[in-house]
Chain A
Amino acid sequence: MSTIALYNDQGGAEAAMEAGQENSSSTGGAAFGLFSSDFKKNEDLKEMLESNKESLKLEAMKRVVGLISKGKNASELFPAVVKNVASKNIELKKLVYVYLVRYAEEQQDLALLSISTFQRALKDPNQFIRGSALRVLSSIRVPIIVPIMMLAIKEAAADLSPYVRKTSAHAIQKLYSLDPEQKEQLIEVIEKLLKDKSTLVAGSVVMAFEEVCPDRIDLIHKNYRKLCNLLVDVEEWGQVVIISMLTRYARTQFTSPWKEGATFDENNDKAFYDSDSEDKRDTTEAKPYTMDPDHRLLLRNTKPLLQSRNTAVVMCVAQLYWHLAPTQEVNIITKSLVRLLRSHREVQYIVLQNIATMSIQRKGIFEPYMKSFYVRSTDATHIKTLKLEILTNLANEANISTILREFQTYVKSQDKAFAAATIQAIGRCATNITDVTDTCLSGLVLLLSNRDETVVAESVVVIKKLLQTQPTQHSEIIKHMAKLFDNITVSMARASILWLMGEYCDRVPKIAPDVLRKMAKTFTAEEDIVKLQTVNLAAKLYLTNSKQTKLLTQYILNLGKYDQSYDIRDRTRFIRQLIVPNEKSGALNKYARRILLAPKPAPVLESSFKDRDRFQLGTLSHSLNTKAAGYQELSDWPAVAPDQSVRNVEVIEPVQEWAPSVGKTKKSGKPKSADKFYSDDEEEKKEEGSESSKDSSSSSSSSSSEESGSESEEESSEESEKTSSDSGKSSSGSEKSSSESESEPKKKKKTKKAPQKKSKPPAAFSDSDENGNGPVAQASSSSAESSSGSETDSEDSDPPATPQKKKKDVKSKPKAEVKSKVEVPLLDLVDFSPAPTNAPPSSVISSSLISDLEGLSLSNITSTMQVTTPSFGPVKTYELLHHMTGKGLSAKYHFPRQPCLYEPSMVAVQVILTNGSDHSLEEIHIGERSPAGLNIHCFNTIERLEPEASVTVSMGIDFSDSTQAAHFQLCTKEDQFSVSIQPAVGELLMPSSMTEQDYSKEQGKLLGMNETSATITMATANTSRLAISKQVLSVCNVGEVPSSQNTVHRFAGRTVSSGALVLVCLELKESSTALLTINTEKSVMASMLLRDLKQPLVQA
Chain B
Amino acid sequence: MIHSLFLINHAGDIFLEKHWKSVISRSVCDYFFEAKEKAVEPENVPPVLQTPHHYLISIYRDKLFFLSVVQTEVPPLFVIEFLHRVADTIQDYFGECSESLINDNVVTVYELLEEMLDNGFPLATESNVLKEMIRPPTILRSVVNTLTGSSNVGDKLPTGQLSSIPWRRAGVKYTNNEAYFDVIEEIDAIVDKSGTTVFAEIQGVIEASVRLTGMPDLSMTFMNPSLLDDVSFHPCVRFKRWESERALSFIPPDGNFTLMNYHVSSQNLVTIPVYVKQNICFFETGPCGRLDITIGPKQTMGKTVEALMVTIHMPKAVLSANLTATQGNYSYDLTTKVLVWDIGKLNSQKLPNLRGSLSLQSGAPKPEDNPSLNIDLKIQQVAISGLKVSRLEMNGEKYKPFKGVKYLTKAGNFQVRT
Contacts and interface: CB of A to CB of B under 8 A. Distances in A.
B72 A630 contact: yes
A450 B77 CA distance: 40
B215 to A, nearest CB: 8
Contact of B59 (A204, A315, A346, A621): A346
Interface in A330-365: 335-336, 338-339, 342, 344-347, 349-351
A116 to B, nearest CB: 23
A409 B191 CA distance: 12
B236 to A, nearest CB: 9
Given A628-B72, A978-B396, A312 B107 contact: no
A100 to B, nearest CB: 12
Given A55-B149, A66-B107, A309-B258, A413 B199 contact: no
Interface stretch (A236-244, A430-438, A824-832): A236-244
Given A128-B158, A163-B161, A620-B76, A376 B15 contact: no
B44 interface: yes
Nearest to A243: B75
A70 B372 contact: no
Given A95-B107, A126-B157, A978-B395, A624 B50 contact: yes
A414 B367 contact: yes
Most A CB within 10 A of own CB, among B60, B107, B243: B107
Contacts of B118: 135, 167, 170
Interface string A630-667: 11100000000000000000000000000000000000
B338 to A, nearest CB: 11
A129 to B, nearest CB: 8
Interface string A371-383: 1101011101110
A863 interface: no
B44 A381 contact: yes
Contacts of A173: 119, 121
A163 B238 CA distance: 24
Interface in A714-742: none
B185 to A, nearest CB: 12
B21 interface: yes
B139 interface: no
A629 B52 CA distance: 11
Interface string A275-286: 000000000000
Contacts of A628: 50, 55, 72-73
A235 B315 CA distance: 47
B70 interface: yes
Nearest to B168: A884
A310 interface: yes
A885 B110 contact: no
Given A70-B16, A309-B233, A376-B413, A619 B75 contact: yes
Interface string A292-325: 0000000000001001111110111000000000
B415 A347 contact: no
A344 to B, nearest CB: 6
Interface string B257-269: 0100101000000
B199 A237 contact: no
A380 B43 contact: yes
Contacts of A351: 77
B78 A237 contact: yes
B127 to A, nearest CB: 13
A339 B75 contact: no
Contacts of B303: none
B396 to A, nearest CB: 6
A631 B74 CA distance: 8
Interface residues of B, number: 104
A599 interface: no
B371 A377 contact: yes
Nearest to A627: B73
A1015 interface: no
A461 interface: no
Contacts of B239: 232, 304, 307
Interface in B378-418: 395-396, 413, 415, 417
Contacts of A71: 14, 17, 26
Interface stretch (A86-94, A1018-1026, A1091-1099): A86-94
A58 interface: yes
Contacts of B261: 309, 339, 342
A102 B113 CA distance: 14
A374 B192 CA distance: 12
A102 B24 CA distance: 11
B415 A619 contact: no
B241 interface: yes
Interface stretch (B92-100, B224-232, B342-350): B224-232
Nearest to A632: B73
Interface in A866-882: 878-879, 882
B217 A618 contact: no
Contacts of A314: 232
Q: Determine chain A's interface SS by DSSP, over half rule.
A: helix
A342 B203 contact: yes
B59 to A, nearest CB: 5
B244 to A, nearest CB: 6
A1017 interface: no
B258 A69 contact: no
A207 B121 contact: yes
Residue from the set A71, A200, A409, A629 with the largest chain B CB neighbour count within 10 Å: A71
B151 A316 contact: no
A350 B76 contact: yes
B232 A94 contact: no
A189 B396 CA distance: 41
Given A344-B84, A346-B47, A376-B190, A237 B232 contact: no
A960 interface: no
A964 interface: no
A783 interface: no
Contacts of A412: 368-369
Contacts of B46: 349, 382
A382 B78 contact: no
A58 B15 CA distance: 22
Given A105-B22, A244-B75, A312-B77, A377 B119 contact: no
Given A309-B233, A314-B232, A413-B369, A98 B80 contact: no
A146 interface: no
Contact of B232 (A129, A339, A347, A376): A339
A44 B313 CA distance: 54
Interface string B219-258: 0000000000111111100111101100001010000001
A209 B215 CA distance: 37
A58 B261 CA distance: 43
Contact of A629 (B73, B372, B415): B73
16 contacts: A58-B151, A65-B110, A235-B166, A308-B233, A309-B233, A338-B230, A346-B80, A372-B201, A380-B41, A381-B44, A412-B369, A414-B367, A450-B368, A629-B71, A885-B251, A978-B396
Interface of B: 1, 14-19, 21-23, 26, 41, 43-44, 46-48, 50, 55, 58-61, 70-78, 80-82, 84, 106-107, 109-111, 114, 118-119, 121-123, 125, 149, 151-155, 157-158, 161-162, 164-166, 188, 190, 192, 198-199, 201, 203, 215, 217, 229-235, 238-241, 243-244, 249, 251, 258, 261, 263, 313, 315-316, 365-369, 371-372, 374, 395-396, 413, 415, 417
Given A620-B74, A629-B71, 16 more contacts: A65-B106, A91-B152, A94-B153, A126-B157, A167-B118, A233-B164, A237-B125, A307-B239, A309-B235, A312-B75, A335-B263, A338-B230, A349-B47, A451-B366, A626-B50, A710-B240
Interface of A: 54-55, 58, 62, 65-66, 68-71, 89-91, 94-95, 97-98, 102, 105, 126, 128-129, 135, 138-139, 141, 161-163, 167, 170, 173-174, 177, 200, 204, 207, 232-233, 235-237, 240, 244, 304, 307-312, 314-316, 335-336, 338-339, 342, 344-347, 349-351, 371-372, 374, 376-378, 380-382, 406, 409, 412-414, 450-452, 618-621, 623-624, 626, 628-632, 708-710, 878-879, 882-885, 977-979
